[in-house]
Amino acid sequence: MNKKRNYIIGYLYLIPALVIFILFTYWPAIYSFYLSFFNTTTSTGHAIFVGLSNYAYLFRTGQLPYAFLTAFEYSLVRFIFAFVISIALFAWVESRGKYLLKNAIPLIIIPVLAISLVYPALSFWGGNTYMIFLWVLFGILSFYFAKNIAFLKLHMTLFLLSILGFYIVAFYIGNRMDLYTLFFDIAQNNSFVMSIWNTFYFVIIDVPLTIGISLAAGLLMKNLPFFKAFFRTAFFAPYVASIVAVSLLWLWLFNYHYGIFNFMLSWFGIPPINWLNSAALTMPTVAILSIWEYFGYYGLIFLSGLQNIDQEYYEAAEIEGANSFQRFVYITWPLLSPITFFVMVVSLINAFQVFTQVYVLYNQMPGPYANSGLTMVFYIYNTFYNEQQMGLASAAAYILLGIIMVLTLIQFRTTEKRVEYNI
Amino acid sequence: MKKQKKKIIYFFYYVAAVILAIFAIGPLVWMVDTSFKTNSEVLSYPPSWGTINALPSRSLTADIIKTRAGQSSNPSALSLEALLGSLSTAQTTTLASPDTIAIHVLGASGYRGTGTMPRRGILIISLINNEGDLASYPTKFSTSDFNKVVNQISSISPLSTDVEQSISNLSQYISDPQEYILNFYDAFLYGPNPIFSRINFISNLLNVNGSSFQDQLAIFKKGIGPLTGIELKEISKILENALNLTTNSNAKTEISKYINDIKLYLDFDQFYEAQKQTKFDQPIELAFILKSNQLKIVKAPSVVESAYTSGDQIYITFKNTSFVWFLNDSVSVKANYNFWEVLANFFDNYVSAWNSAPFGIYYFNSIFVAVATTVLNIIFDVMMAFAFSKLTFPGRDKIFIAIIATMMIPYQVLLVADYLIIHSFGWINSYYALIIPWSATAFVIFLMRQSFNSIPNDLYDAAKIDGASSWRFLWTIAVPLSMPVIITGALLTFLGSWNSFLWVLIMTDTANMRTLPVGLQNFIINSGAIFNQLMAAATFTMIPVVIAFLFFQKYFVSGFFRSGIK
């Protein structure tokens, strides 16, 4: 009896917050999902069940310049090419030492074969089934041989960057069509695809730079002997200001004629940049602003993680004669990985919500022209608030949610084994 | 040796830290700096740090309005700002009475780009003649001399056709010397299409056939405004030389016409200047009167009767003399401010930004909504976190995970459904819509649970044995023990509420319910790009949160560390 009473008390504690979560989070989540299958133009009017056609409408492709399969084939061939070359490169880096003899054969054969086939693979034979087969074979072979490369495992990020680099090289040498360009072509005619494009562009610039700069800020705040509090306050100050005020401020800093940035560029003889009136610079501009706004906040989270690392590790390392770079790579970075992971997830979710900056910087428009600043949240806002298409907006919102979920899950899966909890 | 190396490393750390700090703080400093500037300082390149708003005196660029036709005759002589200012006000200058001189003040600190002067302080106005001395004016005017000179200039011939035309037009004013003088200078120098306008007059001269003075005249094309008396004398000399040299009879008559044109003007000008006998003994000092167009005369020569202002113009009325005597003069305007007036100038942008939108309402709404949200958050979140941490009931951890999972859902995704739900409650455009949905935050619950977990269970058991209820234990022991984390949570929710934009934008549609970010956004749209006022508005929207942050910083940071995000 007493136990039951305790249970009831426990639930009573939950009630106020739980009601709010149910009313404004869980129920809306279900309700938006439901709405995304309906065509409704007013808030109270008749909703017509349309099945998946809202989603289909969002991803309508229009006329494609070339088939999806061709683009896919090109992408695949290039990706495996970049993969093979990268593995060869990494194995070579490692084998310079004592592993040279052991790995010599695959390391010589793979690049030679790869390079002898570079040109045909990249240009007109890109879509050939025979080529795909060959390159997949190479990929599997090189993966098999490179399984034991310790350097690759240690520097996964570098490896991914290397793949990306070789992919880009291959793209520019060969026939310039792949999934990426196809996607861009679709985006020209479909504003939702454009918004996905822009949002990813923003995330790719924003998240790595934010993490890098905030990690640097965290390390500095940890290691400086004096004026810690001053720098902490300084770094955190931008986060306190509202995004509207901050965007307004940067509107002024980015001003073409009188802005301080173009003035500072003039010290180095660089001609003024039209920050706010160029489609290509729209997302980088917004990203600079966002990095500035958030790096202090994430820096503080990094700092709290750094202070939780046991000082003994550093002392031991110092006795062993490790320099500061080695201490960072072998102690700080692995022990900080839970925090890095947390910051990655949070900043990624945060970056996908970019809206206000664009709204203020571009005067309520999605970018200076050609929808260059149309982000996914902007698309949702616009379809919902201006066009009153609740169903379509809900469908778009669910796709945003889906993308965030998938990316977060990927992050969980890829970092699960590497993140070192509780040492 | 090792110490040396450490010092070098610290040096690089500090360089990096200072660079990052400049990146972080620099824009904010520049924002505050810009908010104190005048319009013309904002729109100046290269940018500078200082502002004349902080100085006790400044000189203002000003012109005497010399013609009835309205605007200053030559737009190309104006600065871009002054031109925009004069276009935006679109004033047609009508001279109120012949006794009144109108002074157009251009380079003053502006409101909304019109170039209006700050309406405070003491204006020191000096009328200055060609020699750079204080100007003179006649006290007694002899009509007989006037008639003589009119007769004299009417008899000059031959004249070019447009001068002849002008002189015959002027004959209607012979009975009214003042009008005659005004129209004379209008026609020759200051009117909309004057005879001695620099480009036209010289071009006409250059078109004279068979003449050999082209090279000598070309230099007169440079310069601004109509030709001056000295220049006209030189041109006249060149022309006389040319007249002696040329043999072409057509050219001869043409040239002599131009010589006579100039002679006519110079004769009249000599008469005009000769009339001015009395010199101003001191500049005119005027003071602004609150909420009135009248200007108070602080110190002035007895000839000044009254003064008033309208827009960016100052009108000074004379006793016994007329403004026509200052047509060839220029004016220098200086403004002096006392300490309070300097202060008022300094915060001018803040005052005008505050007054040009209902920022008072926005401020109240922001504070009310943020405080209410924070208080509700603390109560609800503490309760939930406590239940998750210290109470036992079935499904506890599953519910906790369900709550934490909501952190992954951006609220923009739920915006449509939330809007429809709030609409069905009838909460659109009310405080409920801004407060209630935000009165529980998953992240804060997570932080607080971490903190409560660090309180030993024994403490709770001991309190229970002593007869304390869980409610009492929560508020008298658990909450005080986790104060830093609670303050962190409070600050995060306060910040979130204070800075929330899209939600407020969608859930409200009248100014009465809007908070500062949305109000500020409206202000940006409505006011155009006057960056000094915009920066002032941005600054005063940030002040409360900045103060709150500075005040609670210590707790905030330690709360972060205590919560031990892992």
Smallest Cβ distance to B538: which of A245, A308, A353? A245
Selected residues 207-246 of chain A with any CB under 8 Å from a CB in chain B: 213, 216-217, 220, 223-225, 227, 229-246
Contact A220 B13 (CB under 8 A): yes
**Which portions of chain B are predicted below pLDDT 50?**
69-79, 81, 85-96, 109-115, 565-566
Higher pLDDT, A276 or B242: A276
* Cβ–Cβ contact A59 with B under 8 A: no
* Cβ–Cβ contact A410 with B under 8 A: no
- CATH 1.10.3720.10 domain position(s) in chain B: 352-563
What is the DSSP secondary-structure string of B103-161?
EEE-SS--STTS-PPPS-SEEEEEEE-TTSSBPEE-SS--HHHHHHHHHHHHH-----H
Closest-CA distance of chain B to residue A158, Å: 24
The pLDDT assigned to A43 comes to 52
Smallest Cβ distance to B501: which of A9, A14, A244? A244
Nearest CA in chain B to A365: B525
pLDDT tens digits for A12-43? 888 999 999 999 999 999 998 888 888 876 55
pLDDT tens digits for A162-178? 888 888 887 777 677 77
Closest-CA distance of chain A to residue B10, Å: 7
The pLDDT assigned to A422 comes to 42
Q: What are the residue boundaries of the structural domains of chain A, listed by start? A: 2-58, 68-184, 191-416
* Cβ–Cβ contact A360 with B under 8 A: yes
Contact B518 A244 (CB under 8 A): yes
A213 pLDDT band, cuts 50/70/90, is very high
Contact B381 A17 (CB under 8 A): yes
Give, for B63, the enclosing helix (H) or strand (E). Answer: strand B62-64
* Highest mean pLDDT: which range of A43-47, A138-142, A309-313, B362-366: B362-366
The pLDDT assigned to A381 comes to 92
The pLDDT assigned to A99 comes to 58
The pLDDT assigned to B69 comes to 45
Contact A248 B437 (CB under 8 A): no
Contact A29 B538 (CB under 8 A): no
Three-state secondary structure string covering B459-503? HHHHHHHCCCCHHHHHHHHHHHHCHHHHHHHHHHHHHHHHHCCHH
Task: Please check whether residue B502 is in contact with residue B410, taking contact to mean a CB–CB distance below 8 angstroms.
Answer: no
Average pLDDT over residues A341-369: 87
Average pLDDT over residues A129-136: 70
Contact B409 A25 (CB under 8 A): yes
- Please state the ipTM of this predicted complex: 0.81
Q: Which amino acid is at B297?
A: I
Q: Determine how many CB atoms are found less than 10 A away from the CB of residue B100.
A: 17
Contact A380 B470 (CB under 8 A): no
Inter-chain Cβ pairs, chain A and chain B, closer than 8 A = 285
The pLDDT assigned to B361 comes to 92
Contact B566 A422 (CB under 8 A): yes
CA pair distance B557, B546, nearest whole angstrom: 15
The pLDDT assigned to A111 comes to 62
Contact A234 B21 (CB under 8 A): yes
Half-sphere exposure for B288 (CA within 13 Å, toward CB): 18
Contact A240 B542 (CB under 8 A): yes
Residue A207 has pLDDT above 90, yes or no: yes
Residues of B in contact with A255 (CB under 8 A): 531
Nearest CA in chain A to B492: A240
Superfamily of domain B352-563: MetI-like (1.10.3720.10)
Residues of B in contact with A295 (CB under 8 A): 24
Residues of B in contact with A213 (CB under 8 A): 20
Average pLDDT over residues A180-202: 85
CA pair distance B457, B464, nearest whole angstrom: 11
Task: Please check whether residue B315 is in contact with residue B297, taking contact to mean a CB–CB distance below 8 angstroms.
Answer: no
Superfamily of domain A191-416: MetI-like (1.10.3720.10)
pLDDT tens digits for A243-275? 899 999 998 999 888 888 889 988 998 888 888
**Which of A207, A205, A157, A197 lies closest to A347 in space, CA to CA?**
A207
* Cβ–Cβ contact A173 with B under 8 A: no
